[in-house]
Amino acid sequence: DTCDIGWSLYETTCFNISTLSLSWNLAKDSCRSMDGRLAEQITEGKHAFIQQLDVEIHGTALDWLWLGGTDIDSEGNWIWDDSKKPLNLTFWRPGEPNDAGSEDCLATQTGVWNDIPCTAEKQFVCEKS
Ligand code: 2F8
Ligand code: CA
């Protein structure tokens, strides 16, 4: 198996970390426009792979990266947007998710998750088979 240029293979899935920073909704659209989706159904292995890719690209200049989770439809009920499945395994930083202000979209940084405002403009992780 191989991936397009700029995408990296983990198991049977190709991953890309965007150079653009976009709101969560536009990030979702961007992944879909590439026949992918925001990364979701995160396993231990996928989580570790994304973290490693982030460090390869950004070194220590890390910021939150969008993943495909949201509780925008029902506060506190986190789902993967594309598959509509509930989050199974989670990597919340202690104290998260806290909906501080209003935070309904899932982001990852240095191996932990946080809910942040969906309007924040962040780089994002797309995946495609
Ligand atoms: O203390 C945790 C808290 O820190 C920030 O809010 C002050 C984060 N907000 C953003 O990164 C936009 C919260 O998501 C986080 O819970
Ligand atoms: Ca938060």
Domains (range + CATH), the chain: 8-128 (3.10.100.10)
Residues 118, 70 contacting (CB under 8 angstroms): yes
**CA distance readout (Å), 56 to 52, 61, 67:** 6, 11, 18
Residues with beta carbon < 5 A to ion ligand 2? 96, 98, 100, 103, 114-115
3-class DSSP state for residue 46?
helix
Atom of ligand 1 nearest to the CA of 116: 14
Among residues 16, 128, 50, which one has the least CA distance to residue 82? 128
pLDDT at 1 over 80: no
Q: Per 3-state DSSP, what percentage of the chain is helix, strand, and coil (rounded to 5)?
A: 20, 30, 50
Residue among 66, 103, 110, 122 whose CB has most ligand 1 atoms within 8 A, to mutate: 103
Query: Per residue in 69-88, pLDDT tens?
Result: 999 999 999 999 999 999 98
What is the value of ipTM here, to two decimals? 0.96
The pLDDT, as a whole number, for residue 52 is 98
Q: pTM for the full model?
A: 0.97
pLDDT at residue number 18: 98
Task: State whether the beta carbon of 96 lies less than 6 angstroms from ligand 1.
Answer: yes
What kind and span of H or E run contains 44? Answer: helix 44-58
From the CA of 11, how far away is ligand 2's center (Å)?
30
* Maximal C-alpha separation, the chain: 44
Q: What is the pLDDT of residue 22?
A: 98
Answer whether 105's CB lies under 8 Å from 115's CB.
yes
47, HSE (Cβ side, Cα atoms, 13 Å): 16
Ligand 1: residue of 24, 110, 114 to mutate (most ligand atoms within 8 A of CB) is 114
Q: For residue 61, give the amino acid letter.
A: A
